[in-house]
């Protein structure tokens, strides 16, 4: 390969799952020796007929073939994503060997995980360092060409934080809304498959684990973030570095999205973007699913929720109601240690056993059921050093970081309701949504605190008529909107809405982004 010069040729690069018809066209051209003699055709890796990485330097005599290949692939968006024409770059690259050309211009050797072809936006992947640690953002280009008028497109989604605090966004990436899901074939043998209802079809995606030391982020020994405010400041600084390093992002619209403790993180991060006047970030809105935002009101509905769904008796209702009152009084007194203890009590085995052993994230499931898929954790650990080039500060990937969770104990009972009010007054789009089967962040508690927002248009929002979210003639949930404030309830879903009802979650996000 070395020493082959790239002069006076066009380059067609095909990556990922290639349809059989395309492979046949390639092989046909090779068999006919169609002007490849000087440059050659290189099949770098071939593991099966539908997973192949091919680089074809195409001479002008093969222009007809090149057009055939391109035409066939472009019939399907999934394949046309991975075609890149580099003719304008030839003068710049004329003196490079093919190896060097691939390393500098394409970069696919470092951008593909194993044989399964997880492809990222070129140039937007790599560890970003700070004095406290390292962050590895995962960036995926949208598969929807209509959303990419200016190379990178209009929307740029960020998944803030999954269950937590202290848990990795890679759960959302590989188990909920990312373009790929991990399949564990056998020990140390993984493959990835495309997710049909991935939000990647609607927006570019940026997955970042924060605060430092969580998930795919590393931290120096002893460094632990202990509250939302500090985490938000670090993340705002990360955005500043990222947007200055990759200025193409400044042309996109940023929507910050997440679930669970993202009800704390996202409002705080959004406020930092506004107060620090990060004008390089074209910040448009937030979307928070089953968010833990206003604990005082959300505490109040645990007993009534369990009683309404018929899982506890009247006597048990009174016991749980008493524990709720202790927690609420602790918040009013500023005793966050006691408030956290009561919150923990309301989701521990004693309370859940009263309710028949339900899963706190979806009451139609039960403790002991083998429903949690952690294959992505083993997958990421398997490739942590080889494919992800992890620095010394990150020796192992863990789905949740215990020290970070413990450090946030006094922060968990605090409220970010005031941040939501500022966002609404600032005309930032706010979507809050809940899965109707979630106990730990249940719908009645969410509706209660939203109804008490100190926003001058809250009366109009309360009076707004609900719309049905309908997919394939089936109702997936409801949508309630007034101006820039939306609340959606998604049916047949628990805490992890996109996992439980991907169709409903996808339809909801599409409506939000296009409103």
Which strand (E) or helix (H) includes residue 273?
A: helix 262-275
The confidence band for 403, taking pLDDT boundaries of 50, 70 and 90, is: confident
Give residues with Cβ within 8 angstroms of 67, minimum separation 6: none
Q: Is residue 187 part of a domain?
A: yes
pLDDT tens, position by position, 285-312: 999 999 999 999 999 999 999 999 999 9
pLDDT, residue 379, reads: 76
Which strand (E) or helix (H) includes residue 71?
A: helix 63-73
* Bond from prior residue into 436 cis (ω within 30 degrees of 0): no
CA 154/CA 254 separation, integer angstroms: 8
> Does residue 411 share a domain with residue 272?
yes
The confidence band for 24, taking pLDDT boundaries of 50, 70 and 90, is: very low
Whose CA is closest to 216, among 266, 269, 168? 168
pLDDT tens, position by position, 138-175: 566 666 644 444 444 455 555 444 556 888 888 888 88
Q: Are 433 and 497 in contact (CB under 8 A)?
A: yes
What percent of the chain is modeled with pLDDT above 90?
Answer: 41
Give residues with Cβ within 8 angstroms of 323, minimum separation 6: 342, 345, 346, 351
> Does residue 157 share a domain with residue 33?
no
What's the half-sphere exposure (Cβ side, CA atoms, 13 Å) at 470?
6
- Residues pairing with 475 in the sheet: 470
Q: Which of 339, 366, 393 is the last residue of a domain?
A: 366
**293-319: burial string, b at 16+ Cβ within 10 Å, e else:** bbbbbbbbbbbbbbbeeebbeeebbee
Print the domain residue range for 30.
10-106
What is the average per-residue pLDDT within 233-244? 85
pLDDT tens, position by position, 182-225: 877 777 777 777 888 889 888 888 888 888 777 777 666 667 88
Rg, Å, the chain Cα set:
25
CA 124/CA 151 separation, integer angstroms: 14
Whose CA is closest to 74, among 27, 166, 12? 12
pLDDT, residue 157, reads: 54
> Does residue 268 share a domain with residue 246?
yes
How many domains are contained in the chain?
A: 3
The confidence band for 244, taking pLDDT boundaries of 50, 70 and 90, is: confident
> Does residue 150 share a domain with residue 102?
no
> Does residue 136 share a domain with residue 18?
no
> Does residue 67 share a domain with residue 15?
yes
> Does residue 290 share a domain with residue 300?
no
Q: Is residue 225 part of a domain?
A: yes
Range with lowest mean pLDDT among 95-99, 117-121, 510-514: 95-99
> Does residue 149 share a domain with residue 23?
no
Q: Is residue 120 part of a domain?
A: no
Q: Is residue 84 part of a domain?
A: yes
Which CATH number characterizes residue 378's domain?
Answer: 3.40.50.1820
> Does residue 88 share a domain with residue 161?
no
Whose CA is closest to 138, among 223, 207, 70? 207
Q: Is residue 61 part of a domain?
A: yes
> Does residue 318 share a domain with residue 437?
no
Q: Are 417 and 449 in contact (CB under 8 A)?
A: yes
Classify residue 454 as exposed, middle or buried by CB count within 10 Å of its CB (0-12, 13-18, 19+): exposed
Q: Is residue 467 part of a domain?
A: no
> Does residue 145 share a domain with residue 284?
yes
pLDDT, residue 144, reads: 62
CA 98/CA 191 separation, integer angstroms: 28
User: How would you write 329-347 as a 3-class SS string?
Assistant: HHHHHCCHHHHHHHHHHCC
The confidence band for 320, taking pLDDT boundaries of 50, 70 and 90, is: very high
User: How would you write 160-222 as a 3-class SS string?
Assistant: CCCCCCCECCHHHHHHHHCCEEEEEEECCEEEEEECCCCHHHCCEEEECCCCCCCCCEEECCC
The angle at the Cα of 452, spanning 450 to 456, to the nearest 5 degrees, equals 95
> Does residue 413 share a domain with residue 268?
yes
CA 320/CA 322 separation, integer angstroms: 5
Q: Higher pLDDT residue, 500 or 43? A: 500
Q: Which of 366, 388, 423 is the last residue of a domain?
A: 366
Q: Is residue 57 part of a domain?
A: yes
The confidence band for 71, taking pLDDT boundaries of 50, 70 and 90, is: low
Whose CA is closest to 177, among 215, 135, 206? 206
pTM for this model (two decimals): 0.74
Q: Higher pLDDT residue, 118 or 90? A: 118
Q: Where are the beta strands (DSSP E) in 249-295?
A: 253-259, 282-289
Query: Alpha helix locations (H) across 334-415?
Result: 336-345, 349-354, 375-382, 402-407
Residue 215: Cβ within 10 Å count = 29
Strand 282-289 versus strand 253-259 pairing type: parallel
Q: Is residue 415 part of a domain?
A: yes
CA 14/CA 11 separation, integer angstroms: 10
Classify residue 358 as exposed, middle or buried by CB count within 10 Å of its CB (0-12, 13-18, 19+): buried
pLDDT, residue 306, reads: 97
Tokens read off for 453? 């927002």
Q: Tokens 């609607």 belong to which residue?
A: 202
What's the chain's average pLDDT?
A: 74
> How many residues are given for the chain?
515
Whose CA is closest to 323, among 288, 282, 352, 294? 352
Which strand (E) or helix (H) includes residue 392?
A: none
CA 505/CA 94 separation, integer angstroms: 48
Range with lowest mean pLDDT among 42-56, 176-190, 225-239, 379-393: 42-56
Q: Which of 338, 366, 394 is the last residue of a domain?
A: 366
User: Is the pLDDT confidence value at 95 over 90?
Assistant: no
CA 145 to chain centre: 20
pLDDT tens, position by position, 431-450: 999 999 999 999 999 999 99
pLDDT, residue 79, reads: 31
The confidence band for 57, taking pLDDT boundaries of 50, 70 and 90, is: very low
CA 511/CA 513 separation, integer angstroms: 6
pLDDT, residue 263, reads: 95
């Amino acid at each position: 390969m070395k020493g082959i010069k790239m002069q006076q040729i066009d380059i067609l690069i095909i990556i990922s799952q290639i349809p059989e018809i395309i492979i046949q066209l390639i092989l046909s051209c090779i068999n006919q020796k169609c002007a490849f003699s000087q440059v050659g055709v290189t099949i770098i890796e071939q593991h099966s007929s539908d997973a192949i990485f091919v680089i074809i330097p195409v001479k002008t005599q093969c222009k007809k073939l090149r057009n055939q290949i391109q035409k066939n692939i472009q019939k399907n968006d999934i394949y046309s994503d991975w075609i890149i024409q580099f003719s304008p770059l030839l003068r710049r690259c004329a003196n490079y060997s093919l190896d060097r050309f691939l390393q500098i211009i394409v970069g696919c050797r470092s951008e593909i995980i194993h044989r399964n072809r997880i492809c990222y936006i070129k140039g937007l992947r790599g560890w970003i360092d700070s004095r406290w640690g390292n962050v590895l953002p995962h960036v995926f280009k949208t598969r929807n060409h209509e959303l990419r008028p200016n190379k990178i497109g209009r929307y740029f989604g960020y998944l803030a934080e999954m269950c937590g605090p202290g848990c990795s966004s890679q759960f959302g990436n590989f188990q909920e809304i990312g373009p790929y899901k991990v399949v564990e074939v056998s020990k140390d043998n993984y493959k990835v498959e495309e997710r049909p209802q991935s939000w990647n079809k609607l927006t570019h995606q940026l997955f970042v684990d924060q605060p430092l030391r969580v998930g795919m982020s590393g931290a120096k020994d002893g460094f632990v973030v202990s509250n939302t405010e500090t985490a938000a400041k670090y993340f705002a600084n990360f955005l500043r570095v990222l947007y200055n390093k990759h200025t193409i992002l400044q042309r996109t619209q940023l929507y910050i999205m997440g679930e669970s403790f993202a009800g704390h993180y996202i409002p705080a991060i959004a406020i930092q973007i506004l107060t620090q006047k990060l004008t390089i970030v074209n910040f448009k809105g937030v979307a928070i699913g089953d968010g833990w935002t206003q604990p005082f009101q959300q505490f109040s509905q645990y007993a009534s929720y369990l009683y309404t769904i018929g899982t506890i008796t009247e006597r048990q209702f009174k016991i749980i109601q008493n524990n709720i009152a202790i927690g609420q009084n602790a918040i009013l007194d500023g005793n966050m240690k006691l408030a956290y203890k009561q919150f923990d009590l309301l989701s521990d085995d004693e309370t859940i056993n009263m309710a028949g052993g339900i899963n706190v994230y979806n009451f139609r499931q039960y403790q002991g059921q083998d429903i949690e898929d952690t294959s992505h954790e083993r997958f990421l650990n398997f490739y942590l050093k080889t494919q992800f080039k992890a620095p010394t500060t990150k020796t192992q990937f863990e789905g949740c970081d215990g020290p970070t969770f413990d450090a946030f104990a006094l922060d968990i009972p605090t409220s970010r309701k005031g941040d939501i009010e500022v966002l609404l007054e600032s005309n930032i789009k706010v979507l809050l949504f809940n899965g109707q089967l979630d106990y730990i962040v249940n719908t009645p508690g969410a509706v209660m605190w939203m109804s008490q927002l100190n926003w001058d248009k809250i009366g109009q929002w309360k009076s707004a008529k609900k719309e049905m979210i309908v997919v394939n003639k089936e109702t997936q949930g409801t949508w309630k909107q007034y101006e820039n404030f939306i609340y959606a309830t998604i049916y047949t879903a628990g805490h992890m809405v996109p996992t439980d009802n991907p169709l409903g979650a996808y339809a909801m996000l599409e409506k939000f982004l296009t409103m």
